[in-house]
Structure 1
Amino acid sequence: FEIDTKYVPIKPIGRGAYGIVCSSVNRETNEKVAIKKINNAFENRIDALRTLRELKLLRHLRHENVIALKDVMMPIHRRSFKDVYLVYELMDTDLHQIIKSSQTLSNDHCQYFLFQLLRGLKYLHSANILHRDLKPGNLLINANCDLKICDFGLARTSSGKDQFMTEYVVTRWYRAPELLLCCDNYGTSIDVWSVGCIFAELLGRKPVFPGTECLNQPKLIINILGSQREEDIEFIDNPKARKYIKSLPYSPGTPFSRLYPHAHPLAIDLLQRMLVFDPSKRISVIEALQHPYMSPLYDPNTDPPAQVPINLDIDEDLGEE
């Protein structure tokens, strides 16, 4: 760990596919931070693009439900450095750990986590950003239940010229039907689907669609949502994908109220509006915030949109992953 002397002491708190994360304190500000070391950041083109995306985005994003990038450490050897060090605000845990834990989650907890996630997402969408990889592990939480969206390595602008989605994007269990079925055109509704999956996981303490491989995933979705009408699969522009969906055995579906019998009726109503197979009929983030389940928390007047839409020109310049 070759880091600026103003950061002490260093304590490892996590290890991911891209490197190691340590907690530290900024001596100058007394602020607790998380330092993410990305090993050999330029060895692999896709990983380098992910890091560049995260940097370009977080330089512009300012919202209390989006993780703040505090610092990017200047390398000692500018022409020969291999590792990148990013400094973020420090959070205590993530939603994946909380869901896995034995901690009781009340309706108030579920409501507050969902509210903050939707608030952060409303801000991102107003800045023209699709997150594309929302999952419990990418939602950081601190001891007083504040939630912040992190990991923007797969995010892109919703106006990107090339809307084709690669296999890497969105962990399969949280991936919207239009992505599983290879649709070239997708929009902000992919993030709403992921939010629905996360909310269901909060209510049931386990993933709602834990598919084992790609073909198995749409089948799981149909088993719960029920077989779709012809008009609800019109959005599938890939003939093979449409044929596959039509070939699945008939399913009457399972009501969410049966899956989550202890959930608030308004929570169930909002969940079933988020987990709609046809993206054009799925609720938007703003509509979700205006839903009666959110009314105790949501005040539209205190939630301004992002200052300007953000342009992420790296994808157009360098090609998608």
Structure 2
Amino acid sequence: TSQMDFFTEYGEGNRYKIEEVIGKGSYGVVCSALDTHTGEKVAIKKINDIFEHVSDATRILREIKLLRLLRHPDIVEIKHILLPPSRREFKDIYVVFELMESDLHQVIKANDDLTPEHYQFFLYQLLRGLKYIHTANVFHRDLKPKNILANADCKLKICDFGLARVAISDTPTAIFWTVLQFPPTMLTISFGYSISITAANFLSCFRIISQQGGTEHLSYVDLFSPSIHQQ
């Protein structure tokens, strides 16, 4: 994808130097790029014909609004939104995200040597991000490994808020929210449990979270069982 093909009549596009295509879908294409103003590598998502279908436009607008408001280390960040020179030319939209190397689905699929500590760190980040999201009364509603971006340093970031909804929820259980204030090394102190998380345990916990539509009604022990073995 050439610079000219990717940025059609978007003056601000000159700021970014397109490097390669890293994703394609029915919505359009995602390219990695270099921000010539900051020297930072970014991901640019081009969404074609945004106003062709009202449902698609609504979903995209919802995601952009939420990601501009939800700022957290475990949530992917929107860096910039490229607007056309005039409203009459507003056909496609370009959203600039921080660049992540892969997603959790690919990480688990491609790595047989991940340790229980890796999965513990994955789950900790996921729960910490969800805690922040639910504090804002937002429910992701499409949480799956492909919607969790990942880097080689095991850093995860939740993405794709197109199906998310904002709602007033019940007060979460105190035990669940309190434990998330502690780093992973402190998790065994409050409850006297040792944690041994394997790939199967991690995916099992992940399914519990997804099926519940959130984690605010699950206690810490319920969430990790049977991954937790009492000492």
TM over 0.5: yes
Q: Does structure 2 retain, via aligned residues, the 8 Å contact 1:119–1:289?
A: no
Q: Does structure 2 retain, via aligned residues, the 8 Å contact 1:270–1:291?
A: no
Whether 1:43 aligns to 2:49 is no
- Indicate how the Cα distance of structure 1 residues 146 and 273 shifts in structure 2: closer, same or farther if over 3 A, else same: closer
Q: Distance in 1 between matches of 2:224 and 2:215?
A: 13
- Indicate how the Cα distance of structure 1 residues 269 and 88 shifts in structure 2: closer, same or farther if over 3 A, else same: closer
- Indicate how the Cα distance of structure 1 residues 289 and 5 shifts in structure 2: closer, same or farther if over 3 A, else same: farther
Q: Which runs of 5+ in 2 are unaligned?
A: 1-5, 173-195, 226-231
Q: Does structure 2 retain, via aligned residues, the 8 Å contact 1:118–1:285?
A: no
Identity of aligned residues (%): 48
Q: Does structure 2 retain, via aligned residues, the 8 Å contact 1:65–1:117?
A: yes
- Indicate how the Cα distance of structure 1 residues 79 and 125 shifts in structure 2: closer, same or farther if over 3 A, else same: same
Q: Distance in 1 between matches of 2:83 and 2:95?
A: 10
Q: Which runs of 5+ in 1 are unaligned?
A: 161-185, 189-262, 294-321
Alignment partner of 1:275 out of 208, 211, 214: 208
Moved more, 63-72 or 76-85: 76-85
Whether 1:81 aligns to 2:90 is yes
Larger strand proportion, structure 1 or 2? Answer: 2
- Indicate how the Cα distance of structure 1 residues 272 and 27 shifts in structure 2: closer, same or farther if over 3 A, else same: closer
Deviating beyond 2 angstroms after TM superposition, the runs of 4 or more aligned structure 1 residues are 267-276, 282-293
Root-mean-square deviation (Å): 3.5
Whether 1:56 aligns to 2:65 is yes
Q: Distance in 2 between matches of 1:272 and 1:24?
A: 35
CA offsets, 1:88-109, max 9 Å, x none? 0000000111122144221011
- Indicate how the Cα distance of structure 1 residues 22 and 53 shifts in structure 2: closer, same or farther if over 3 A, else same: same
Which amino acid is the alignment partner of residue 220 of structure 2? A
Counterparts in 2 of 1:179-218, with a 5 A limit? none
Q: Distance in 2 between matches of 1:33 and 1:25?
A: 6
- Indicate how the Cα distance of structure 1 residues 271 and 7 shifts in structure 2: closer, same or farther if over 3 A, else same: same
CA offsets, 1:159-186, max 9 Å, x none? 39xxxxxxxxxxxxxxxxxxxxxxxxx9
Whether 1:284 aligns to 2:230 is no
SS at match of 2:33: strand
